[in-house]
Structure 1
Amino acid sequence: MAEPQIDHIVVDVRDRIAEGAEIYRRLGFQLTPMGKHSLGSANHLAIFGTDYLELLGTDVPGGALRPDLEPFPVGLNGLVFRGYDSEALQARLMAAGVPVQPANAFFRPADLPDGSQADAKFKTVRLDRSAAFDGRLYWCEHLTPEHVWRKEWQEHPNGALGVARMLLSVRDPERQAAMFRRMFGAEAVRTTDDGRALLRLGAAAVVEAAPHAAVAAELGNAAPDPAGRGDHLAVLGLKVRDLGATAALLRTNKVPATVSAGLVRVPARAAMNTTIDFMA
């Protein structure tokens, strides 16, 4: 079984995409030009080394959202793993007892460096919403990765290099652990003495499910507003090149943040209801 790998993380901005882009640029991210999906949504991306952050919504203020985005508030709602051979992946997951939907193909036009245009093409396999946290979990297969991972988009003023930690706030970490085992195999998941479930993504990243009380104690007033969600994504952790430089940029841009050993934390209220940890 292939080792799990983060493909991208999604922050829903709903019909506030211009505001979200302004905020994330102030946080030190270089964003791609707005893209418009054949599914009817719009996005900006912050491209890292092997993964990326997506601001997802609609480009029309007050406009209708994609039906699968409509139930979710502004905030961190999408956990996306790298997919390959989507139809075979969907069959394997179903055989393992993972309730997923059929593979879905879509595209968005992409402007190329030479001034021409081509379609960035994708296939996704989505987990049934009732089987996971109150958010979206899916696999994304890139049919044209060259239109996404372009070197001129991968340098960020905040020094972000890639996703290092995703923290889920949940009622029952073992429920999440059991689903991750069916997805990726028992060897990919472990539980800690304090009741957390850890899905290890190679040597560099982890998806962590912790009880609501433990997450509340860790984040305090930096926590996101659940806004009606139950089990939900609470923290996006990003590895950066130079933590001191990241902290200095946030101060210059007047972004509230707390600094501790190996960590600069931006509260959710300053990042579209998403707690962001910049990590050494």
Structure 2
Amino acid sequence: MAPILDHLVIDVCDRMAAGAARLAALGFQLTPLGRHSLGSANHLAVLEGDYIELLGTDVPGGALRPDIAAYPVGLNGLVFRTEDAGALSAALVSRGVPALPAQSFHRPVDLPDGARDEARFRTVRLDRAAAMDGRIYWCEHLTPEHVWRPEWQAHPNGALSVARVLVSARDPERQAAMFRRMFGEAAVAAGADGRVLLPCGPAVVEVAPHAAVRAELGAAAPDPAGRGDHLVLVALRVRDPAATAALLRAGGVAALAVPGGLRVPAEPVLNATVDFLA
């Protein structure tokens, strides 16, 4: 079972409007506000084969869904794709992976012709005690046509897909051991400086020691906000890095030059570092 990245979740708690405004300032086109049957709200930045999700409540000061209430603002969800959530849950448990039973939910979606339908999903979550300080789960899209719509995939910043996800960890090998149980021994590779690499289609999940992450990101790193092993950065492939840079400058967004592209330091609204790469 080769891992494929489905999406990443940025929790914004009850600051949905501010989170959406920040992603728009970074040049993303967002889907209209969606409301899940589970009690949460979201916006998506839909890319070619994956996406970024803003998740929380659209009620300022409102209660959060119990399974996300404990997480601070930041990049907290690493989501893989599955074609059969029920079968996956059973297969994971048989391999000693502490996976929970499949869960079904939906949210309304307006169609281009003015009709209304539901985007439907089934997910399998890893028991929180066995994961990093965030959520790892799998998503089965029962109605992918209600997510990957062409009119939602054209972003002013030219974003095409997720290229890299960076996790800061005390012991990357601990997370590597779980990845091997989840996806098989061959799925995990060793990187430089004690890093662990999990290729996921066009993206790579990279787990690096805390010290290596501090050395790479410096002041651009997000606030751990009490988290231990946690997601810190998403890098996106863009069509034209120079055009992306111009858009950010025009919008007053500070960005740093990094090899192959640009880095937008973490700030309080999203509390996640964002790279734009060629």
Give TM class, smaller chain: over 0.9
Q: TM-score, normalised by structure 2?
A: 0.98
For residue 192 of structure 1, report the CA deviation from its aligned partner: 2.5
Q: Aligned match of 1:253 in 226, 243, 251? A: 251
**SS of structure 1 residue aligned to 2:19:** helix
Q: State the identity as a percent.
A: 67
| 1:115 aligned residue | 114
| 1:215 aligned residue | 213
**SS of structure 1 residue aligned to 2:68:** coil
What aligned pairs does 1:231-246 form with structure 2 within 5 A after superposition?
A: 231-246=229-244
Matched-pair contact (CA < 8 Å) for 1:197–1:209: yes
| 2:46 aligned residue | 47
1:100 aligns with 2:121: no
**SS of structure 1 residue aligned to 2:193:** coil
Matched-pair contact (CA < 8 Å) for 1:256–1:270: no
Matched-pair contact (CA < 8 Å) for 2:236–2:276: yes
Measure, in 2, the Cα distance between the counterparts of 1:261 and 1:37.
Answer: 39
1:177-212 CA distances to partner (integer Å, 9 max, x unpaired)?
11001111111101124211100113x210000000
Letter in 1 for 2:241: L
| 2:179 aligned residue | 180
Measure, in 2, the Cα distance between the counterparts of 1:94 and 1:8.
Answer: 23
Q: TM-score, normalised by structure 1?
A: 0.98
**SS of structure 1 residue aligned to 2:226:** coil
Measure, in 1, the Cα distance between the counterparts of 2:259 and 2:3.
Answer: 29
**SS of structure 2 residue aligned to 1:268:** coil
1:195-254 CA distances to partner (integer Å, 9 max, x unpaired)?
11100113x210000000000010000000000000000101111111111111000000
**SS of structure 2 residue aligned to 1:137:** strand
For residue 270 of structure 1, report the CA deviation from its aligned partner: 6.5
For residue 263 of structure 1, report the CA deviation from its aligned partner: 1.8
Distance 1:159 1:270, change over 3 A: farther
Gaps of 5+ in 1: none
Measure, in 1, the Cα distance between the counterparts of 2:182 and 2:56.
Answer: 28
What's the C-alpha RMSD, in Å, of the aligned pairs? 0.9
Matched-pair contact (CA < 8 Å) for 2:18–2:269: no
**SS of structure 1 residue aligned to 2:119:** strand
| 1:29 aligned residue | 28
**SS of structure 2 residue aligned to 1:254:** coil
Matched-pair contact (CA < 8 Å) for 2:40–2:64: yes
Gaps of 5+ in 2: none
For residue 84 of structure 1, report the CA deviation from its aligned partner: 1.4
Measure, in 2, the Cα distance between the counterparts of 1:81 and 1:141.
Answer: 9
Following TM superposition, the consecutive aligned residue runs of length 4 or more in structure 1 with deviations greater than 3 angstroms are none
Distance 1:221 1:193, change over 3 A: closer
**SS of structure 1 residue aligned to 2:27:** coil
Measure, in 2, the Cα distance between the counterparts of 1:270 and 1:240.
Answer: 24
**SS of structure 2 residue aligned to 1:183:** helix
Matched-pair contact (CA < 8 Å) for 2:14–2:62: yes
Distance 1:270 1:61, change over 3 A: closer
